[in-house]
Amino acid sequence: MSKTGYTLNGIEFECTQGDITNQPDLDVVVNAANAQLMPGGGVAGAIHRAAGPDLARACEKLAPIRPGEAVITEGFGLPNAHIIHCLGPVYGVDEPSDRLLADCYRNGVQLAEKHGLSSIGFPAMSTGAFGYPMEAAARVAFATLQAEAASLSSVKRIRFVLFSDRDAELHQRVLDESVNQAP
């Protein structure tokens, strides 16, 4: 699938099919973490494998985190200088799930801004093991980040990295719709 981007308030938003551990042109990628910030399945497993054991040692000092919270480490073996670790809500358990998911995206991008980073990649937080329906999650993600865009000056590019073509197409459609509905 091709990457189609939009520029909103000076921030480029884009969706792509790919692996979050293979985005070498981004300053920071976001980990769909667990509360203990330890390796797990999905994104967290892939990030810890690619980053190497130094990441778990750095994470030990920052855990545990709460749903919606974000913390930052260096990237270690990843091609990115930094990793932002966010704990998404378990759908139907951590309530209100939509607000906690929005907190993840807001706190994640604000942490990138605070560290003077210009490009950030997000996976579809909470949509794997945590069970959040993909389309509803995509709407929360875009609405939150588009609302944040006006207050960002360092962050210039936000990429959504989706594991399957189907999820990437769904995100692209939701992004197209949200841009067309923007005032």
**Judged by CB under 6 A, how many residues of this single chain contact ligand AR6?**
23
Q: Which of 26, 30, 46, 70 binds ligand AR6 (CB under 6 A)?
A: 46
| Cα–Cα dist 73/69, whole Å | 14
Query: Residues, the chain, total?
Result: 183
Site string for ligand AR6, 95-114 (x = CB under 6 A): --------------------
Environment class of 6 (CB within 10 Å of its CB; exposed 0-12, middle 13-18, buried 19+): middle
Nearest approach in angstroms of CB 50 to ligand AR6 is 9
Nearer to ligand AR6, 8 or 128 (CB): 128
Nearest approach in angstroms of CB 74 to ligand AR6 is 19
- Residue 124 interacts with ligand AR6 (CB under 6 A)? yes
Backbone angles phi, psi at 9, to 5 degrees: 50, 40
| Cα–Cα dist 103/106, whole Å | 5
Tally of helices (H runs) and strands (E runs) in the chain? 5, 7
Q: 3-state SS of 133-166? A: CHHHHHHHHHHHHHHHHCCCCCCCEEEEEECCHH
Site string for ligand AR6, 128-147 (x = CB under 6 A): xxx-----------------
Q: Which of 13, 17, 40, 58 binds ligand AR6 (CB under 6 A)?
A: 40
Q: Which of 5, 42, 98, 115 binds ligand AR6 (CB under 6 A)?
A: 42
Q: Which of 88, 111, 119, 138 binds ligand AR6 (CB under 6 A)?
A: 88
Q: Which of 16, 107, 119, 127 binds ligand AR6 (CB under 6 A)?
A: 127
Q: Which stretch of DSSP H or E encloses residue 122?
A: strand 119-122
Radius of gyration of the CA atoms of the chain, in A: 15
Residues that bind ligand AR6 (CB under 6 A): 19-21, 32, 34, 40-44, 46, 88, 123-130, 161, 163, 167
